[in-house]
Chains A and B, each alone.
Chain A
Amino acid sequence: MRPGSTAAACTAVLRRDLLLAWRRRGDAAFPVLYALIVATLFPFALGPEDALLARIAAGVVLLTVLLAMLLAFDALFRPDLEDGSLELLLLAPQPLALLLGMKILAHWLTTALPLIVIAPLLAMMLHLPAPAQPVLLAALLLGTPLLSLLGAVLVALTAGTHRSGMLLALMLLPLTVPVVIFAAGAVSAAEAGLPHLAPLLWLGAALVLALVLAPLACAAALRIALDA
């Protein structure tokens, strides 16, 4: 690959973000630990009754993953903004949307993927019925990239504000309602032995749409947030 070509640039962005995550690999444990602790608190709050936990397990896992991702979003652009690498990225003679897409991919791989890996463990701790387990996993595999893409656009909009954590929650969570509904709907349909493919397909369709649109929107949002 010739240096300066789009392919080289995309690989470089992905490689660098993964390398940075690897150099600070301890940080990747935080979202996972957070999810584990939050999921552990539910039985304390609601009582350890198996039937009750089994009923709420899927919802708890989904929301825990969502909240853990929400906390991790701050790391998507803030370090780059603070050390000036974001400006370097913006001014690079490359399609910005593609570079940002790579950043989002790296962020998903380093924060959401570990969460998906421990999701079955959380689900088992909460006694999610076995037939629903693969559906939960599929819902997470389709839903978390969607959240990452959607979140990236909003994080880009808040780049340059100081109190971005709470603000991001206020902006992002209402927009995640459909994702939560379809992901949880698929799992509860599977638990009830009903067909669960339709909500998963909806998630898939939304993901395809977001894959195309979100990087472009993210680039536009970043340009809005950073000029001035």
Chain B
Amino acid sequence: MTTSPPTAALLHAQGLAFARNDEPVFGPLDFALARGETLLVEGDNGSGKTTLLRVLAGLMPASAGELRFDEAPLRRESLAGRALFLGHQLGLKLDLSAAENLRHFVALYGQREGLAPAAALDEVGLAGYADEPVRRLSAGQKKRAALARLLLAPADLWLLDEPFANLDRHGIALVNRLLAAHAARGGAALVTSHGAVSFTDPSTRHLRLELNA
């Protein structure tokens, strides 16, 4: 587990732990995530990576510990619009086209200046598939359609659960490109991975979750 000096950390966790039915799932964890940083959360299956991300997204409350977001205690309201969670269920409607799905997303989450859903789809390599029902896309293409949200939403903190899953080499490069651009803009990201992909940006720090026996 690495921790850096918490200079103006965007996200700061202290003693963060989660238990289900009194069975510890992860933690206690201490980490800080500053703007421009990417934290790669590693761990075996069942070590609580997804749960950690869901807690950070505000989908469920932590059992113990303190979470601070932008120097204030993390609350669901303070995250609204500033954090973006991408789970392994992608939240795409199969009967709608990729563009329709993204337009719905933008209506809910807002849109960054100067980028439209169609352009975002071009950028994630789905040019020509915008009006195709998501049902007809491959698993990797669906993932790309979901990743297009990262381009559109004006969020500071990305919480990405297994963003590399189902992606080919170009797709992995795409995620790395997105993360690098996000970091350059001053955004922060937490990314889970079970360790199968090589994520080799030197600015990336690692957080290792151990299985709770």
Contact = CB atoms under 8 A, between A and B. Distances in A.
Direct contact of A and B (CB under 8 A): yes
Contacts, number: 86
B70 interface: no
A88 B81 CA distance: 11
A8 B109 CA distance: 10
A170 interface: no
Given A9-B108, A92-B108, 9 more contacts: A3-B106, A83-B89, A83-B94, A89-B108, A93-B110, A94-B80, A94-B108, A226-B59, A227-B59
Interface string B85-128: 10111111111100010011111111100000000000000000
A89 B106 CA distance: 12
A90 B107 contact: no
B104 A84 contact: no
A44 to B, nearest CB: 38
Interface stretch (A15-23, A122-130, A187-195): A15-23
**Chain A, interface SS category:** helix
Contacts of B24: none
B20 A228 contact: yes
Contact of B110 (A3, A15, A89): A3
B87 A84 contact: yes
Nearest to B21: A228
15 contacts: A4-B110, A12-B104, A12-B107, A13-B104, A16-B93, A20-B96, A83-B90, A84-B87, A90-B59, A91-B59, A91-B80, A92-B80, A93-B110, A94-B80, A226-B60
Contact of B93 (A9, A20, A99): A20
Contacts of B20: 228
B96 A4 contact: no
Interface of A: 3-4, 8-9, 11-13, 15-16, 19-20, 23-24, 82-85, 87-94, 99, 226-228
A147 B92 CA distance: 29
Contacts of A90: 59
A201 to B, nearest CB: 38
B58 interface: yes
A204 B110 CA distance: 37
B148 interface: no
Residue from B57, B61, B87, B107 with most neighbouring chain A CB atoms (10 Å): B107
A223 B90 CA distance: 19
